[in-house]
């Protein structure tokens, strides 16, 4: 989890100009970018840093400096209180880094090495509490870390199944995406490790229930509630796309609510990395039938526009109770996605109708896919995007959970299962085991 984030004004290195940057402190380093939803420009590692202290800079109030072996970084906060907060948090992080062994390292935000310490992590560090999910590759458990008592969700994948189903690249991509991306509306990876037969992702435990569960219970949501969820998803997709990631599986089952009612996008198992340009294309046929864009079904290659089709489908479903082209017969549903007329109920407002028509445009070149234009659409006119990103907008619905460990909104068919880990016979060759090298990751434990 990010220890602190917010806007800072940073002095350049070779060119001594001041630029406003969005800073995120995580894993012992400040990552900075042009804005909240854009790709990283660089990072400032606190490993081996000297002092972090307030400083006076001509014409620049609320400044502080970070002394590193490479250079001294100068940054300014928006006010005195924020500056003091940054200095306090950075010094606390620096102190915790100094207290850890110097011979262990963990990846830095850009994927390289910067001497950041990594604690040794494994299954024995966690107490298994409850089963909270299952899938074709393994299961998800609620766990407690023994040394600090924190509650997490542990996703457990069988290596043999991954290899047999040729999902190795997808699994690697999921780990890379979870490791490098930090955003208020994306699930956070804290640790990853492996045993002879399994891979383990240790993520934030988000216990407000799947959006799918709430939608089934309520049949459909009010337009105000749909707008709130859609707005947070827009920011999440904007950030993913700016980071070169195609989500490819936007659906209610992959959207969790936090205990205070915010969206958390999860499951990047079929996401695709490396699509930096809007013109970049991929061709793998994957996703969930109800949410597939026409160009995926055509099989001629597709880009980021598919996520916005899925977004339109999800928006329609939240407003009406069903996806726009739903059929129990999958082939018939594919046919409807390709050819059927979009029928929008009169109960939906004109502004929402207009946005749906533009998102559910079959021609990806004509589809509304620009996040800035989407955010400027009249249906979102009441949204304060800056406050939303900072989670300063009160959600329209607060899940009825009691505390961070509550599992009352998890399907009882999962939580009633026996909490055991089966050891599978691992006949994975040493050559195949090499495919899982570098899987260990420690992103927390710096507090």
Give the pLDDT of residue 310.
Answer: 97
CATH of domain 123-206+411-442: 3.30.200.20
78: tokens are: 């928006």
Residues annotated as catalytic are: 249
The C-alpha atoms of residue 174 and residue 178 are separated, in whole angstroms, by 6
**Per-residue model confidence as pLDDT tens for the chain (447 residues):** 557 888 999 987 655 678 888 888 887 888 888 877 666 777 888 877 888 999 888 778 999 999 887 788 889 999 999 999 999 889 888 887 776 544 444 444 434 333 334 457 889 999 999 999 887 678 899 999 998 899 999 999 988 888 888 888 888 888 888 888 888 999 989 999 998 889 999 999 999 999 999 999 999 999 999 999 999 999 999 999 998 999 999 999 999 999 999 999 998 888 988 888 788 888 888 889 999 999 999 988 999 999 999 999 999 999 999 999 999 999 999 999 999 999 999 999 999 999 999 999 999 999 999 999 999 999 999 999 999 998 999 999 999 998 888 999 988 888 888 888 776 655 666 667 777 877 777 775 433
**SS3 of residue 437 by DSSP:** coil
User: Which fold, 211-389?
Assistant: Transferase(Phosphotransferase); domain 1 (1.10.510)
Which overall architecture, per CATH, does domain 4-98 show?
A: Roll (2.30)
CA angle 91, 97, 101 (to 5 degrees): 155
Residue ranges of domains in the chain:
4-98, 123-206+411-442, 211-389
> Strands of 126-134's sheet, edge to edge?
126-134, 138-145, 151-158, 198-204, 189-194, 441-442
246 near 295, Cβ under 8 Å? no
* pTM of the entire predicted model: 0.76
CA dist 242 and 199 (Å) reads 28
């Amino acid at each position: 989890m990010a220890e602190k984030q917010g806007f800072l004004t940073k002095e350049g290195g070779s060119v001594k100009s001041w630029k406003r940057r969005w800073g995120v402190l995580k894993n012992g380093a400040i990552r900075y970018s042009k804005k909240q939803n854009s790709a990283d420009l660089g990072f400032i590692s606190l490993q081996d840093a000297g002092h972090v202290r307030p400083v006076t800079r001509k014409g620049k109030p609320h400044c502080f400096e970070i002394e590193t072996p490479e250079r001294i970084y100068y940054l300014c906060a928006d006010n005195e209180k924020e500056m003091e907060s940054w200095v306090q948090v950075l010094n606390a992080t620096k102190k915790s880094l100094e207290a850890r062994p110097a011979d262990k390292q963990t990846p830095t935000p850009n994927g390289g090495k910067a001497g950041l310490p990594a604690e040794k992590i494994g299954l024995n560090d966690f107490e298994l509490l409850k089963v909270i999910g299952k899938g074709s590759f393994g299961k998800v458990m609620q766990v407690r870390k023994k040394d600090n008592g924190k509650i997490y969700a542990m996703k457990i994948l069988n290596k043999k199944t991954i290899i047999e189903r040729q999902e190795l690249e997808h699994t690697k991509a999921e780990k890379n995406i979870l490791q490098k991306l930090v955003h208020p509306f994306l699930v956070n990876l804290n640790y990853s490790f492996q045993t002879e037969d399994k891979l383990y992702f240790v993520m934030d435990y988000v216990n407000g229930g799947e959006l799918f569960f709430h939608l089934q219970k309520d049949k459909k949501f009010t337009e105000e509630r749909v707008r709130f969820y859609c707005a947070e998803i827009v920011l999440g997709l904007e950030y993913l796309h700016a980071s070169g990631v195609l989500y490819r599986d936007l659906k209610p089952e992959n959207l969790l609510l936090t205990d205070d009612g915010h969206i958390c996008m999860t499951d990047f198992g079929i996401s695709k990395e490396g699509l930096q340009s809007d013109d970049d294309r991929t061709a793998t046929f994957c996703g969930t039938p109800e949410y597939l864009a026409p160009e995926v079904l055509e099989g001629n290659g597709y880009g980021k526009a598919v996520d916005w089709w899925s977004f339109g489908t999800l928006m329609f479903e939240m407003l009406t109770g069903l996806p726009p082209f739903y059929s129990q017969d999958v082939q018939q549903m594919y046919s409807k996605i390709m050819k059927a007329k979009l029928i929008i109920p009169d109960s939906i407002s004109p502004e929402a109708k207009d946005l749906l028509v533009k998102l559910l445009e079959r021609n990806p070149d004509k589809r509304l896919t620009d996040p800035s234009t989407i955010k400027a659409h009249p249906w979102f006119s009441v949204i304060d995007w800056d406050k939303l990103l900072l989670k300063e907008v009160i959600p329209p619905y607060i899940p009825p959970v009691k505390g961070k460990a509550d599992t009352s909104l998890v399907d009882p068919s999962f939580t009633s299962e026996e909490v055991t880990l089966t050891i599978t016979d691992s006949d994975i060759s040493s050559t195949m085991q090499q495919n899982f090298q570098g899987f260990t990751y420690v992103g927390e434990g710096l507090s």
